[in-house]
A and B are shown apart, each in its own frame.
Chain A
Amino acid sequence: MANISTLNTAAAGFDAVSDQVATGPRGRKPRRTFSPRNIMLYGTLIVAALYYLLPLYVMVVTSLKGMPEVRMGNIFSPPMEITFEPWVKAWAEACTGLNCDGLSRGFWNSVRILIPSVVVSIAVASVSGYALANWRFKGSELFFSILIIGAFIPYQVMLYPVVIALREIGVYGTLTGLVIVHTIFGMPILTLLFRNYFASLPVELFKAARIDGAGFWQIYFRIMLPMALPIFVVAMILQVTGIWNDFLFGVVFTRPDVYPMTVQLNNIVNSVQGVKEYNVNMAATLLTGAVPLIVYFVSGRLFVRGIAAGAVKG
């Protein structure tokens, strides 16, 4: 490459340009780190970030204080004496009208609702999405459109018919009933998610499998499923947070002894009897928010992808 470098440099130095080479601006334009633009930019972002973080901070510090300290005032001040008493009490002793065994009951109820709901809703929706993407038949798009429009209908409109239906098959008020409800109302968004994903896979793959003689289920389990793992994770994130955070279905379709955590939390905090124990309330609130928060912080970008997929196209 010897003569190339000579070529590149040979041209230099036969005109006015050469005089400026030593002195003029060169390379990157120097910038101050603390330019007005950067101060404005990062200043705004940091102030906004503090506003968003504030409630989390307040929850944590309040839950670590004893009641005397809470009553003394300032909710923003860090605890002078850290105590885990409120957490223990929220988990095991807090009262909700009838019983006083804390949020743990609601937690385990939620877990018992969550696991089957997530599994069943994802299983049903992934098969529907796969059928829609690859095995369209007359009317399949119409049903799908109804399903998607259904996602925008306020749940309140469909609550009572669902109550009647569940009562008819004898599962109203039970965890099974709630699992069915979560599966039904998770259908639109999950089906959409899976349909779009399967539709984005190369059609040739599906065609080749059909020529090889694979049937509906063989293609689903052998070819589609292994390729769809990321979208299953996205669907799981979506469903875990959605079902865990649900309040309306929990309060409508279950009885007090099987109330999910959110309903129980609301009953503990907003119960009118007894002295208000704010530190216990905040510990309970944090405990309830812990599951979706952990999912959120662990999943990171996938969570964003999930809500973007769910929201933009919903």
Chain B
Amino acid sequence: MHDVVSIKKNSVSIRDLSLAFGSVKVLENLNLDIRDGEFLVLLGSSGCGKSTLLNCIAGLLEPTDGQIFIKDRNVTWEEPKDRGIGMVFQSYALYPQMSVEKNLSFGLRVAKVPKDEINKRVARAAGILQIEPLLKRKPAELSGGQRQRVAIGRALVRDVDVFLFDEPLSNLDAKLRSELRVELKRLHQSLKNTMIYVTHDQIEALTLADRIAIMKSGVIQQLDDPVTIYNRPRNQFVAGFIGSPSMNFLPGELAEEGGKTVFRTNGVSFSLDGYEASEPLTPGRKVTLGARPEHIKVDSDIQGGEVHEAIVDIEEPMGADNLLWLKHAGHVMSVRIGGARRYAVGSKVRLAFDMSMASLFDAQTEERL
């Protein structure tokens, strides 16, 4: 599917975008191309510039420098309404004293769109979002999920190519959030619009995105599809940001043993068999080994490879899973096993690293090797 998409033109392009408030630089020389019909998620913790970037695309913030193209049209100086975008806000931003119908149609009426065209578009949006029974109600009479649907509807009636979402699900409780997440995904599949979605929630990012752009301090750290982001994090920040519980990091160094390069920490050596390095692994280099809890195998899960012995430090049963904290080689690392398997604290277990899924980071640059 991604191959098909990538042949198409770009929907939104960002060139050398910078934005500074006084001396505080929020975005710096940022470039980004978003393909037609793509669902792109901007992911990062608060203050990383993701919302700022979205507001720049919408035209609600003026960049200090750089250009923005939507549908190959330079819209850097255009008003938000002329950019061909619709936007959904975290606080919904519904006009409180207007009915749902008025909320959906207000922009169109101001733009003097013919009456029957307005009715057609409102009916279509209401149909897609299944809010027909709510059209006569005021926002105050709606639940959080319904309000968010109306907010999406307001973007829908604008009949635009690009949808912008600014943390649209953050004000909802966990259950509603996962429901609306599925609906958003379905909506994207049926509309096939370009969607740019800002969130700090990695689950939303992983489940919704065609591609994720992870941001930190106004810079995109990695732009890739969710699987690559998860399994081949470009640097240690991305590796630590994605995944819960987070990746185990073991600081150590590369060494040579029996003609092969191994990872050594606190005098214990780990074979690197199966690791796909993007550059030659030179012995002596200071590195950090990163392994996700589910990529460390214990006892019966081990399917070969080098086996170590560890001691159970703490056990955290979490229902479907059981999280073991194991002590080995002077480190404590978390390992995810099936929920039914239980261990007593202090008992000995055998463990093996799945090196094909692990990551090695340079200790200095924190880049993946």
Contacts and interface: CB of A to CB of B under 8 A. Distances in A.
Contacts of A21: 15, 67
Contacts of B365: 1
Given A4-B220, A15-B9, A28-B63, A20 B31 contact: no
Mostly, the B contact residues are strand
A229 interface: no
Contacts of A1: 219, 365
B32 interface: yes
Contacts of B67: 20-21, 24-27
Contacts of A8: 29-32, 219-220
Contacts of A25: 67, 74, 76-77
B367 interface: yes
Contacts of B31: 8-9, 11-12
B276 interface: no
A7 B368 CA distance: 15
A5 to B, nearest CB: 8
A20 B234 CA distance: 32
Contacts of B223: 7
Contact of A24 (B32, B64, B76): B76
Interface in A12-38: 12, 15-17, 20-21, 24-29
A16 B72 contact: yes
A3 interface: yes
- Interface majority SS (helix, strand, loop, mixed), chain A: loop
A17 B64 contact: no
Nearest to A28: B62
A17 B74 CA distance: 8
A20 B221 contact: no
Nearest to B63: A27
B220 A11 contact: no
Contact of A15 (B10, B63, B234): B10
Nearest to A8: B31
Contacts of B107: none
A263 B98 CA distance: 53
Interface in A26-66: 26-29
A9 B31 CA distance: 6
B309 interface: no
A263 B334 CA distance: 80
Contacts of B13: 15, 17
Contacts of A15: 9-10, 13, 72
Contacts of B183: none
B220 A26 contact: no
Interface residues of A, number: 20
A26 B76 contact: yes
**Most-contacted residue by chain A among B15, B66, B222 (CB, 10 A):** B15
B299 to A, nearest CB: 39
Interface in B15-39: 15, 29-33
Contacts of B95: none
Contacts of B32: 8, 11
A15 B66 CA distance: 17
B230 interface: no
Contact of A28 (B30, B64, B234): B64
A16 B15 CA distance: 13
Contact of B221 (A4, A9, A29): A4
A201 B77 CA distance: 46
A27 B63 CA distance: 5
A9 B67 CA distance: 13
Contacts of A3: 234, 367
B65 interface: yes
Contacts of A4: 219-222, 234
B69 A20 contact: yes
A129 to B, nearest CB: 33
Nearest to A12: B31
B69 A17 contact: yes
A226 B208 CA distance: 51
Contacts of A20: 67, 69, 74
A28 B61 CA distance: 10
A25 B77 CA distance: 6
Nearest to B29: A8
Contacts of A9: 31
Contacts of B221: 4
A1 to B, nearest CB: 8
Nearest to A21: B15
Nearest to B78: A25
A163 B270 CA distance: 93
22 contacts: A3-B367, A4-B221, A4-B222, A4-B234, A5-B29, A7-B220, A7-B222, A7-B223, A8-B29, A8-B31, A8-B32, A8-B220, A11-B31, A15-B9, A15-B72, A16-B9, A16-B72, A17-B13, A20-B69, A24-B74, A24-B76, A27-B63
Interface of A: 1, 3-5, 7-9, 11-12, 15-17, 20-21, 24-29
Given A1-B365, A15-B10, A15-B72, 7 more contacts: A4-B219, A7-B220, A8-B32, A17-B10, A17-B69, A17-B72, A25-B67
